[in-house]
Structure 1
Amino acid sequence: MDILALATGNLLQPAVLFFVLGMLAGFAKSDLSIPEGVVKTMALYLMLCIGFKGGVEAAKAGLTPDFLVSALTALILSFGLPVVAFGILSLFPKLDRSTRAATAAHYGSVSAVTFAAASEYLRGQGVPYAAYMAAIVAVMETPAIVSGLMLAGRGGNREQRAPMGEVLREVLLNGTVVLLLGAFVIGAITGDRGLAKIDVFVNPLFQGILCLFLLEMGLVAVRRLMSANKLTPGMVVFGIAMPLISMSAALGLCALLGVPHGNWAMMAILAASASYIAVPAAMSLALPRADAGVYLPLSLGVTFPFNIIVGIPLYLWIAQRLA
């Protein structure tokens, strides 16, 4: 499929257009806002739907070699990409080691909202992918955080920080991870009969809630970017280049390990995304000296908009050409 057609199809999605509307409202300094409690409820709803529907479909497929090789690929990417990001960030001497490590961890972990937007886009384009990719999202959360902490701890000065066990507890009990994995398990247990009972809740409402949530994300992304006074042009370039590097690594690993071709696009999208929920929570606890004024605007203000508007159709086009 032509890249221009894919890009047009993505830009004309209601969810993406609402995201752009949020960005425009943010740039115009509109007083448009969604109450924090509503935003959290919408995020929980999206995770429930993604996990539950993924569990239902994964139960039909069973624990296959394809799932295992996809999970292995995800683990390698999540643990390895922070090392690559940390090496690139070393080119910015003004960033201390803790900030480089914390930022690198964001780029090995994943954005579940990017996954939600990509799911709707791929479905609209008629591009199938395995339902167990919802579980892969959860698989990719934790290894990146462990990798980032190891990078922060290597070398001379080890800063005072929370014990690893406390950090992992924070990560594994993070609301996003708990609900995503829990809903996946419940979906796998109840199957189609369970889906039939809550179908009205998890299917017809999903697209509308996603649009409203991305409207808020557009507002937040712009406000983070406008308030970021520590991002240099070079760091902004990193926020765009790193997803491209991660996407290339994901596709190369998919080819090397034999990941099913249908999963290549989604694996590339997940690798290219950057966490802005689970990892910031873990880094604020584990590396309190790391500068949140760098890693949050980068992941949420630069990488997230790039992926939502440009990246998803680009990664799909490249994956289709290679696969």
Structure 2
Amino acid sequence: MVDAVPFFFALGAVASLARSGLRLPAAVFETLSIYLLLAIGLKGGVEIARSESATLWVDALLAIGLGAIIPLLVFPLFRLSFSRPDAASLSAHYGSVSIVTFAVGAAVLAGRGVEVEGHLALLAALMEAPALIVATLIARWGVKSADGSSTAGALVHEVFANKSVVLLGGGILIGWVAGPQGLEPLSPLFVDLFKGALCLFLLEMGLIAADRLPDLKKAGLFLVGSALALPPVLALAGWGVAQLMGLGVGGTVLMMTLAGSASYIAAPTAMRIAVPEANPALGVAAALAVTFPFNLLLGIPLYLWWAQTMAGA
């Protein structure tokens, strides 16, 4: 069965390239993003409440470690072609995660009847911040700052109090405390409508991604090639961590998806504060116009095939 979800992204991209004038109202797009983050968090919190996993916090530490290590791995690659600030900023984008890519992966798995461990949403939330902190340290290593304290304070606030962390973390907490029975009345809103809302969100993301293509042309082939090559390579690191966690096929696919994704929401905002001298167009263009569609159209099916093959499923 062909999953229709990724095609909405493609439709948006085609509509933008055709200059159709199609665009979701800003308020609708903002509402959809809030809804999706809350829905993902609530579902994850409910699953955590259902489970009695003794390894939850071990898995959490492994996820945080993976998020912190990825910037260290990709920084030397980006440094080959970019300045230290730009390379550090790009490392932050590829070390942090895309919650929307995670949501698409979860929707694809649900459509195919593949079960997923409930605490993956918690791991996704935990993986956003470490890369941003590590990338900032890379950019600032040996560089004196006249107002380091104020910059550090703003960065900490942006990393831990940004919209995605608050909504995802808050949703997890609510779902965890309320449990399955407490959230049952909300299922028609946060469960039944989820996939439809995700499709509308991806339609707008396709429009935005196509708008970023001129930035990619300016950046050159090195960035495009890196943005295509990194997802499957980093996904293998995610697969390795998933094996340490003892995840099933579904959880492994989502861990690979998180590791192979790139942030285009939290990372650009945090890097604008922490590394203002970096070119913000590079990370957003690579993450949104190359890596995001790659994962939607090719990456997630590839990760599923790999996880099933390695598991002998």
Normalising by structure 1, we get a TM-score of: 0.91
1:54 shift after superposition: 1.1
Counterpart AA for 2:96 = S
Which residue of 197, 200, 221 corresponds with 2:185?
197
3-state SS of 1:29 partner: coil
**In the TM superposition, what is the alpha-carbon distance from 1:141 to its structure 2 partner?**
0.6
Q: How far did 1:226 drift?
A: 3.0
Is 1:70 aligned to residue 53 of structure 2? no
2:44 to 28, 46, 54: 54
Q: CA deviation at 1:164?
A: 2.0
The answer to whether the 8 Å contact 1:152/1:158 transfers is no
The one-letter code matched in structure 1 to 2:68 is F
Task: Decide whether aligned partners of structure 1 residues 111 and 159 sit closer, same or farther in structure 2, where only a CA change above 3 A counts.
Answer: farther
Q: Does 1:137 align with 2:127?
A: no
Matched ranges for 1:126-165 at <5 A: 126-155=113-142, 162-165=150-153
**1-structure distance, mates of 2:63, 2:76:** 20
Q: Are 2:303 and 1:312 equivalent residues in the alignment? A: no
2:276 and 2:217 map into 1 onto residues whose CA distance is: 19
Equivalent position to 1:219, from 191, 207, 223: 207
Residue 116 of structure 2 aligns with an amino acid whose one-letter code is Y
Matched, 1:27 2:17: yes
Q: Distance in 2 between matches of 1:320 and 1:69?
A: 24
Q: How far apart are 1:72 and its partner, in Å?
A: 2.1
Amino acid aligned to 2:91: A
The answer for the alignment partner of 2:31 in structure 1 is 41
Aligned to 2:256: 268
Q: For 1:204-260, what per-residue CA distance to the aligned partner results, in whole angstroms no more than 9, with x for missing partners?
A: 2111111100000001011112344432111101001111121111212333x3432
Q: What is the CA deviation profile of residues 150-204 of structure 1, one whole-angstrom value per residue up to 9, with x for unaligned ones?
A: 1101245668665323201111111111011101111111112222121111122
Offset of residue 102 of structure 1: 0.7
Q: 1: CA distance between counterparts of 2:68 and 2:55?
A: 20
Gaps of 5+ in 1: 1-8
Question: Is the CA contact 1:240–1:303 (under 8 Å) kept in the aligned structure 2?
Answer: yes
- Unmatched segments (≥5 aa) in structure 2: none
Q: What secondary structure, in the 3-state scheme, does the structure 2 residue paired with 1:163 have?
A: helix
Q: 2:259 is matched by which residue type in structure 1?
A: A
Query: Is contact 1:51-1:181 (8 Å) kept?
Result: yes
- What amino acid maps onto 1:145 in structure 2? L
CA distance in 2, matches of 1:79, 1:115: 18
- Written as runs of structure 1 = structure 2, the 5 A alignment for 1:219-298 is 219-255=207-243, 257-262=244-249, 263-298=251-286
Q: Tell me, yes or no, if structure 1 residue 172 matches structure 2 residue 123.
A: no
Letter in 1 for 2:191: N
Letter in 2 for 1:142: A
Query: SS of 1:107's equivalent?
Result: helix
- Contact 2:117–2:248 (CA<8 Å) still a contact in 1? no
Return the alpha-carbon distance in structure 1 between the equivalents of residues 245 and 22 of structure 2: 47
Q: Name 1:181's counterpart in structure 2.
A: 169
Residue aligning to 2:69: 80
Give the match's secondary structure for 1:247. helix
**C-alpha distance in 2 between matches for 1:107 and 1:224:** 17
Query: Share of identical aligned residues, percent?
Result: 40
Deviation at 1:33, TM superposition (A): 0.4
CA distance in 1, matches of 2:168, 2:237: 25
Q: Tell me how far 1:15 sits from its aligned partner.
A: 1.6
Number of residue pairs aligned between Structure 1 and Structure 2: 309
Alignment correspondent of 1:4: none
Letter in 2 for 1:37: A
Contact 1:73 1:254 in 2 (8 A): no
Matched residue SS, 2:212: helix
Q: Under a length normalisation based on structure 2, what TM-score does the superposition of the two structures give?
A: 0.94
| 1:98 to partner: Cα distance | 0.6
